[in-house]
Amino acid sequence: MAIPFVKLPLLLPLHHPRYPLLPLHPSSSSPFPLPPKPHLLRKPNHLHPSKANTKDNSYLTSLLSDLQDNAAEEFETRFGPPPPQERLPSRWPEIHGSKNWSGLLDPIDPLLRSELLRYGDLTAAVNEAFDSHPYSRYCGSCKYPMDSFFFDLGKDSCGYQISSYIYATSNIEIPDFIFRSHAEKTWSEKANYIGYVAISSDATTALIGRRDIIIAWRGTVTNIEWVSDFMDILRPVSSVGIPCPDPDVKVETGFIDLYTDKDTSCQFCKSSAREQVLAEVRKLIDLYAVKNGEEVSISVIGHSLGSALAVLSAYDIAETGMNGGKNVCVFSFGGPRVGNRKFKNRFEGLGVKALRVVNIHDRVPKVPGLFINENVPKFLQWLTDGLPWSYYHVGVELELDHKNSPLLKETSDKGCYHNLEAHLHLLDGYHGKGQNFEPATRRDPALVNKHCDFLKDCLLIPPNWWQDLNKGLVKKHGRWIQPVRPKIDEPKIDKHPSDTQHHLTKVGF
């Protein structure tokens, strides 16, 4: 069998010392993954899912051989300039849901797929930067400073710059979400890094046709038991200070608490995650839209529990008018339902767009509201509005099926169905309902096993292979120790930006 060719994630730079890489074509300048030339896609026969259970693995060998043989040409294609008709400046409103993605999902539009993969990689960055090791004195924080965040993750070609980190606190115990260190003295007793706000660089802004503000929320990695740990109770959004005129617009209590909780004794969460985001968005809108007169979009992204926070924050930005009439769009992956039918109607009535990418076998998008949801006959929906277990998805859903990929194996681990990298792998091979799985961007399948065990064993990709070198320890003076990071309360590492309260005052806090 041919040795699997492990190719690069879409947003990895081609000079990062952490990865063995191939050279980038010298004329390449675009940071965005683009569909390869048509002749690179002529491999449909051996990728049909009906072949997946055969003893002969020649189709897998052939696929991996194709990936290797076409690698050099594919790098030229992926990073080369897009055809004029596919350039984002002319199509980004459509890609961001101006027409509710009508005609773009089945078959899937190549540019939409490319953008979903790009935002998916930026979503993955939130989790990968999170220090979740309880034996680290920095557990619960972001591993990297803002000025080198994307470089340290090997994603400095993504074309964005971190504007601020988001911190949150919660009294709810959430597996794989709120972490505490075993150390007696830590960077914070209350707060956890929960996401970031980023802004497109000048070069990227020119390529995509507008200044793009990204709000990325951290989710769980593989553990999905948090679903049962939230209180399945609806709560009015107006009860936490969101200025909604309808008291019947309600969301899940656990989500809204995590979004709005704060602790004035902690320098990192003396303002809630909500307040931090609203202040930062207001600052960026004032700078780029009001002062500079630029076209601005707000892209809110998240996976798992982070998807719920993305929906909440996108709604809040529109409800408070913080977007100043600018486009607000959610790209979520494996997200649960967030609120009731009136929340859905209010969310969509404000013009907020949401495209939800889901695996049909993942149970997280099916909750809360397992029995009373958008699938209830319409003539009965109004009868269930007052019930505390009535939940409705917002926006538009893009359904994927992991059983269509010939590279994924049968497993009883339901966390694999929820895995973000598995979603991105499925996006890469999705062309429309009923169509064969066929890689479009040649995304490296090895990424699927970064945090799970989902790839077929014959691919020889070990499970859960993504980890820090020596789990973060370095050898110094003959001993293995944790390196000392720059003081986490320095402004560039970021607690709250010094002007957070100034912008909160401007928006009425």
Per-residue pLDDT tens over the stretch 242-271 = 999 999 999 999 899 999 999 988 889 899
Per-residue pLDDT tens over the stretch 264-280 = 888 898 999 999 999 99
Q: Report cis status (omega within 30 of 0) of the bond before 38.
A: no
Going from the C-alpha of 173 to that of each of 135, 180, 476, the distances in angstroms are 19, 11, 36
Mean pLDDT within 176-183: 75
Domains, the chain, in order of start with CATH, read 114-179+186-400+468-506 (3.40.50.1820)
Q: Report the residue count for the chain.
A: 509
pLDDT band at 504 (very low <50, low <70, confident <90, very high): low
Going from the C-alpha of 274 to that of each of 162, 281, 313, the distances in angstroms are 18, 11, 7
User: What does the DSSP 8-state code read for residue 498?
Assistant: T
- The pTM of this model reads 0.84
pLDDT band at 176 (very low <50, low <70, confident <90, very high): low
Per-residue pLDDT tens over the stretch 437-484 = 999 988 999 999 999 999 999 999 999 999 888 888 999 999 998 888
Cα 237 to Cα 180: distance, rounded to the nearest angstrom: 29
Q: Evaluate if residue 429 carries a pLDDT over 80.
A: yes
Going from the C-alpha of 372 to that of each of 149, 231, 369, 378, 387, the distances in angstroms are 42, 16, 5, 11, 9
Q: Phi, psi at residue 296, to the nearest 5°? A: -130, 140
Instruction: Of 364, 307, 355, give the one whose Cα is nearest residue 99.
Output: 355
| Predicted pLDDT at 156 | 87
List, edge to edge, every strand of the sheet that includes 192-200.
Answer: 160-168, 192-200, 211-217, 296-303, 327-333, 353-359, 396-400
Active-site positions read 304, 362, 418
Cα 205 to Cα 176: distance, rounded to the nearest angstrom: 35
Cα 102 to Cα 286: distance, rounded to the nearest angstrom: 32
Per-residue pLDDT tens over the stretch 489-502 = 444 444 556 676 66
Q: What's the gap between Cα 316 and its chain centre?
A: 19
DSSP string of 30-79, one letter each residue? --S--PPPGGGG---GGG-GGGTT-S--HHHHHHHHHHHHTHHHHHHHHH
* Range of 83-92, 182-191, 261-270, 271-280 with top mean pLDDT: 271-280
50: alpha, beta or left? (left if phi > 0; alpha if psi -120 to 50): alpha
Cα 281 to Cα 503: distance, rounded to the nearest angstrom: 9
